[in-house]
Amino acid sequence: MQHIKRSLVGVAVLGCLLAAGCAGPEQKLGRGINNLTEFARLGEIRRSVEQTVLMDDAATAYTTGFIRGFNRSLVRTGVGLYEVVTFPIPSYDPILRPGGPILHDATVGPAYPDSYKPRTIADTTLATDTALGFSGGDVFPFVPGSRFHVFDY
């Protein structure tokens, strides 16, 4: 019984050492979870369709742009799974970066369309003046395609 208690304490101490004060693993895990949920956001698909309209032509936006975005979503989801599984293991640098080894173009940045910049959630915690009913931020930032803002400056 004493041996089991020692091993449980050892596992708990090892877990605390891996998790406490390590900005690298935290960032890698957060980035991995964000990339893993790419198909819930559909950010790469929307962004690729939008960029195909702007760079190529509107006639191929919903075909070529969708396929390009779907492929990029698969890559982002796979990289997210890899980062979630290997978050305690160094290196903590992002795999998806502009000019990186996986996607070579410069549009690897965040998986949001260029016309959408996420802001804070509109709630009472971050509100500037809840007594008068004025606050800002996204109303539903977790809903794909939601671009409505209470105040758009």
Q: Which token pair is 64?
A: 């070529």
Query: Higher model confidence: residue 52 or residue 110?
Result: 52
What pLDDT sits at residue 70?
94
Q: What is the DSSP-derived secondary structure letter of residue 126? A: T
DSSP-assigned beta bridge partners for residue 138: 121, 149
- Write out the two tokens for 43: 């950010």
The angle that helices 66-85 and 23-36 make with each other, rounded to 10 degrees, is 140
The pLDDT assigned to 71 comes to: 92
Report the Cα 35 to chain-centroid distance in Å. Answer: 5
Q: What is the pLDDT of residues 46-64, one digit of tens each?
A: 888 888 888 888 888 889 9
- Torsion 4-9-14-20 (CA) sign: positive
